[in-house]
Amino acid sequence: MERVGEAFEEKSEGGTDDLGHRFEELRPSTVRRKNTPKFRRKHPLAVATNIMRASDKLLTSLGPGTLAGDAYLPPKNQIVQFRRGILKIYSNLKYAKYQFNRRAFYADNIEPWILAALKLAMKAVVDRLKVIFQ
């Protein structure tokens, strides 16, 4: 989830993640709306040109959680489900699905991120086994 959050942050600022994925730019009307006094009062830290970053709730919900022993504690608004061999991680914010339909949060091929995560997980398992069997 760390890579998803980092990539989201990069793309929200108009950049491209390491998989070559970027968000569609904001429409001029959206930038104008984000520059209105009403919007600025409601979201004083928001940058008018940042994409999907008015409050950062969505970014936080897609970021990494905390590992506590063998348990994963997701951040607020993140849902993690594992059913029938399928892992689903998503945000339960009301507007998340509409944002995702307009701008996918990650590239279609996230295999490099999954492989990197599996390598880290395997290293953690090996390190733990070394401690157990010493």
- Check whether 28 has a pLDDT greater than 90: yes
The domain limits of the chain are 2-109
For 47-93, what is each residue's pLDDT tens digit? 888 888 888 899 899 888 898 887 889 999 999 888 888 888 889 99
- Check whether 109 has a pLDDT greater than 90: no
- Residues paired with 73 in a beta bridge: 66
Position 121 scores a pLDDT of: 85
Band (2; pLDDT cuts 50, 70, 90): confident
- For residues 24-52, give the mean pLDDT: 89
- For residues 7-23, give the mean pLDDT: 91
Average pLDDT score, the chain: 88
The rounded distance, in Å, linking the Cα atoms of 62 and 4 is 7
Q: Which residue has the tokens 């008018």?
A: 48
Band (20; pLDDT cuts 50, 70, 90): very high
For residues 1-26, one letter each, b for 16 or more C-beta atoms within 10 angstroms of the residue's C-beta and e for the rest, the string is bebbbebbbbbbeeeebebebbbeeb
- For residues 36-41, give the mean pLDDT: 92
In the chain, the percentage of residues whose pLDDT exceeds 90 is 33
Position 85 scores a pLDDT of: 84
